[in-house]
Structure 1
Amino acid sequence: MAFRIPLHRRTKKEMDQAISDLEKRGFKLIMKEPVMNYGKHFEKDRHGKSEFIKTTESTAWRAVMVKE
């Protein structure tokens, strides 16, 4: 019976460490890709209204491993 394990990590270094740990236990890597997240940063002005300041980007990593 094959089952999949999804991995979600913040940095590529953390992802590589998690993959190597699971490969030592007999898992095989199926997919590894970066996931871009976009957001907006708002601040309150002196009247209490939200004011758009800038957009933000962050990258997380996703992988899927399988063990048969």
Structure 2
Amino acid sequence: MKLYMGLFFAAICMPLASIAGICSLEFGYVPEFRQALGIGVLVGSVMLLVALILFLAGIPSTLRRLRAQANSSN
């Protein structure tokens, strides 16, 4: 499940990062477009980092499941 969550977060990372930047500019949290772009980059980077951690955490269980299926088919 962690593997799929990592892929899901990686897929929705860029739309959410751009929405975060746009909303920070529109709601007045930052006064300039460059700072709003920085907020978007920050949100995107954090989401990609979380996605990478979840993806890497899900690999061992996926490998165990694949080995069990390969051994049962022999």
TM-score by length of 1: 0.35
- Specify which structure has the higher proportion of helix: 2
- Specify which structure has the higher proportion of strand: 1
TM-score by length of 2: 0.34
